[in-house]
A = this chain, B = another copy of it.
Amino acid sequence: MTVEALSPELETVVANAASATAILAATSPGARASALVAVADALEAAKPALVAIGMEETGLTEARLTGEVTRTAVQLRLFATTILDGSYLDARIDYADADFALGVRPDIRRTHIPVGPVINFSASNFPFAFSVMGGDSAAILAAGCPLIVKAHSGHPRLSDATAEVASAALAAAGMPAGTFQLIHGREAGVAVLKDPRIKAGSFTGSISVGRLLADIAASRPAPIPFFGELGSVNPVFITADVIAERATDIASGYLTSVAGSAGQLCTKPGFAFVPADSDLPAAIQAAAGEPSEHRLLDPRIARSYEERRTAILTAPGVRALVEGGIRFDEAGHGWATPTIVIVSLADFRASKEALVDEAFGPLSIVVETPVGTDLAALVREFFEGNLTGTLHISDAEGSGDSTNTNELRVLVNALSQQVGRVLFNGWPTGVAVTPAQQHGGPWPATTNDSSTSVGTAAITRFLRPVAYQSAPAAFLPEVLQDTNPLGVPQAIAPAGESKAWGSAARD
């Protein structure tokens, strides 16, 4: 790949980001935390105006978008507390040790520094929480990296409006020019991703586009990490015992999870495996009622969903449990109601190619499994990497007292090999933003499963470790100083404790 010159406009953007790198890296944790809180406050103050634009551009409801602004603000504040806590820096201090197992050990101290400018490709389906000032952006800024956001084409005006609010708040909070910039257009995004001054990329979207961008990042003259969150079908396993206990609750929870945001969520449960001849299908039909129509994000997504829905409904052995549908308005927008289909395991296996892909919209597939089916084997047979895997089990099964517990443990183990989050008796949509959250999983759920794109652990994606050996205090970063002026956690290896490592040495 040759490096092409950027357009004058993009050159300015990247140069601004590069210029901001050292200044931003040198900001105090307190200043950076305050800046994130200022952005959170500004977004909430601008909420009515922003939500109005978002409703026009995305078709998402006022309630959903209002909640999403709150979530976005909470994410920003959560990262502010993460910065102040400082444990994400993984500060380590190994004091000099004359008795080290391999001879004199020098004083070595290690922390993490921002990687430099990052480009974040924002998502269509979360116009706030995974967009301009969404989770990735919050993590990038919290890490101390200049941020260039490539706006999603689905909500360009909202992106501009959000950027205006955020830029003003960041500037007022004293962050340097070049801390945050917005660009539009896929070609512009690709050009920036190729620029040698850019040190990492993040993305939320489809497998095809994510793969394209990941390949570009990996094939640069100097490759960079690329954190793409792509596709997931989120299988759910429901036992006979739990259906006997609470079929109605499960049916309504399932429908709500499939229908929410018109099914345009990366954690929508795409498959539910249930024992054949249970009461659950009837409970799902009973719970369906009269669902309200929901506009899909854009005409392209709507047409693609219609196509997938038809392919699924016409696969051999597939029956509609909840018919649902999609109609198009004059503007070309698709309006959908949830579709739930049911198929036997044998027919599912026979139509694997047609059925196992993601259907981005309000559709889910119930697969009926015969008695004695090895569920763990099904996970390996049908699925690659996923963001989530879910079990619904009875109280007795959960307590460990059931004869099914061992088999379920095997299933949990199989799921944990292939997903980032294993849930019990809940639904994968509605991803909590917390320190322990894991939103990521093996390919094709993400391009890089060593990290998360939701929760505070997301900050580690934009950091790089640096060690200082025998550094005088005057040259050490504050987080590595003995006086620890910032009060961050420091893992200290005192002199002497390493003797044991060499204790069995025979020379």
Could you tell me which A residues sit within 8 Å of B by CB distance? 21-22, 37, 40-41, 44-45, 47, 66-67, 70-71, 73-74, 77-78, 81, 87, 90, 92-94, 100-102, 105-106, 108-110, 113, 115-116, 214-215, 218-219, 222-223, 225, 384-385, 393, 398-400, 405, 408-409, 412-413, 416-417, 419-426, 432-438, 440, 442-444, 447-452, 457, 460-461, 463-475, 491, 493, 498, 500-507
Contacts and interface: CB of A to CB of B under 8 A. Distances in A.
If over half of A's interface residues share one DSSP class (helix, strand or loop), that class is named, otherwise mixed; here it is mixed
A188 B483 CA distance: 52
Contacts of A90: 457
Given A223-B214, A457-B465, A502 B422 contact: no
Contacts of A37: 504
A375 to B, nearest CB: 14
Contacts of A223: 214, 218, 443, 447
B78 A426 contact: no
B398 A474 contact: yes
Nearest to A426: B470
Given A106-B432, A425-B470, A466-B422, A475 B47 contact: no
A363 to B, nearest CB: 24
A374 to B, nearest CB: 15
A225 B73 contact: no
- State the copy count for this chain: 2
Contacts of A472: 393, 398-400, 424
Given A438-B110, A468-B421, A448 B225 contact: yes
Contact of A505 (B73, B465, B470, B502): B73
Nearest to A110: B436
Contacts of A503: 77
B434 A493 contact: yes
Nearest to A411: B475
A507 B47 contact: yes
14 contacts: A37-B504, A73-B505, A77-B501, A90-B457, A94-B435, A100-B432, A108-B432, A108-B434, A422-B468, A423-B469, A425-B470, A436-B467, A437-B467, A450-B461
